[in-house]
Structure 1
Amino acid sequence: MSVNYSAGLSPYENKGKCGQPEIKDLPEVVEEKAEELANLIKTSNLVVVHTGAGVSTAAGIPDFRGPNGVWTLEKAGKSPQFDVTFDQAIPTFTHRALVELERQGKIHFIVSQNVDGLHIRSGFPRDRLAELHGNMFTQRCTRCHKEYVMDHVSPTMGLKQTGEKCAEQKTGGRCRGVLCDTILDWEDSLPTDQLNLSDKFCKAADLAITIGSSLQIVPAANLPLLTKKNGGKVVIINLQQTKHDKKADLLIRGYADDIMSIVMNKLNIVVPSYTKPVVRLCSDNKIPDSVNLDTRKRRKRKSTDIKKKNEASEIIQTDIKEPNVKLLKETETETANKLNLTSSNVKIENI
């Protein structure tokens, strides 16, 4: 499927401010600011990263509101050109850097507005990732609410039936519920479980890093401010102005991969090369005590030891090698059995 998934969305007039000019800091300024960001990561106790389309442009996936963004061109009466499909796109340096930072306990959660699936396919743990607008590679059962990471892009969008059946084993046989895609249309409600989990991590964080987002879609755009409100710091990495620039403690203008490359060098962390899609169910790191999760859920989380988590990750890696496997593995979100899409609709706030 073409990365122009937006063509499958319903018509919507207010798509925000598009086509703003890009602003780039001088190389020496980027170097200085990247070092400051590395120091903030070193000294922070809980770090939440917020990602937008700008982390995936290096993979050949265009952004939406940049000078050559999908909606910028649409407003000009032009059609965007695409050289890659979602299936062909591979995680960028920034995706891989975030995986390594999480492995080493430097960052603790990602809130993403992207639907390209590159965070999951890069190996970022599913239980530390909120994909508020869905994922082109995940499908969810309408009966038992189990979620699956697929080896192919969903054929539908807008929470519609995909034609797949649930393989969850129940008493008396398989669930056989119908699977639906997880891609939100403009008027669809955000998944309550992921939004609530994002809220808890953002409130507990002492550092929020936004990468590649113009911060125009709410409520996702306002989540970094929860960290600021609770005394934390906000860093914004983006080529265009955002409505929260004045609230940022550090503002870096540049390409995500260039900046993250400097940051990783300053942290002396080597980022492995990408070889193949790897899906990890659970992080090897404990959820920080400062995150106010439900007590019952926390007891359940603690009962799963690292060995079992790693075994689950190995199962995923093994399954993903099989070319004919459609259902890779059920992901173990902490509230998957209690999904209730009743939260606020996706809205646009202009700068």
Structure 2
Amino acid sequence: MEEVAVAAGVSRATVSRVINAVPTVDPRIRAAVERAIAEIGYVPNLAARSLVTRRTDSVALVISEPPGHVAYETPFLNRLFTDPYIGRVTAGAQEVLRPEGIHLVIIPADPPGHHLVLRYLRQGHVDGVLLISNHSADPLPRQLYDLNVPAVLSARPAQPVPHSYVDVDQQAGARMAAEHLLALGRRHLATICGPQDIPPGRERLVGFRTAVGAAVPHVPGDFTRASGEAAARRLIERYPETDGIFVANDLMAEGAVRVLAELGRRVPQDVAVVGFDDSSAALDARPPLTTIHQPVEEMAGEMAQLLLARLRDPRRTPRSVIFSPSLVVRQSA
């Protein structure tokens, strides 16, 4: 830092203020210091800087599955790293955080490691948390609030907690799927729904039932391709007259389409299929899926913006941002 100060003709304190983005520095002085930093190749000591600023310039993306939840057939980490949703959230958050010089740390919080993740966050290794947590029984949103860790949630919390959150209108999306299938003339509808211990799974089922009736056949999956395959087999065995299926996410829908082909059911001629998410799985399916689009990257970017605003102003009132879904018509329905 001393070399930079000499080269720019300013004090060490002025160099420090430029490095820490203090807004009161004269623009001409700031430009001189930045030129000196570039010429010398000076790299700030981030550890020392964090002691002064109390900032780590890191944000955690925590994907949480709480202890004591309903056990799924597919292990947590397998579901985590095969779900396109997580990659889309990461991309959307990075788009906002990277220009701010903030590093995104991805932290899986599976049941055996939940206490370790909480301890890591409590120790101040990150400035805030983007939390993917949908389970009603997850204590992490409340724990983060009690620890005064700034956080933004990826969905409406199952229990009231004063965090900002971003969500899509889940029920409206499911109603769109039902209305599209009915408009195609399909009259024997069914759904492969998501887990009923998380709000998106419940709300998509509620939305579909609102449009077609509470008695509509439904078989649950866990948002994985394999569970979609298994659910489709059970559905056709129990309800062979089915001619239209709403599947609560694209991964399960991709699996369902595979099984329908194995069972000799043509998609969409015999059975029309609509997914939810508009993820890469919708394009990988054969035929490509008609699906409900939720703007995941944009939603994740909004989460990051809300967190940055909270970090700048800790007294900022929590707020919710709800995005609208849309129907994307492809070849499956």
Give me the TM-score of the superposition, normalised by structure 2: 0.33
Higher relative contact order (CA 8 A, sep 6+): 1
Q: Which has the higher helix share?
A: 2
TM-score under structure 1 normalisation?
0.32
Which of the two has higher C-alpha Rg?
Answer: 2
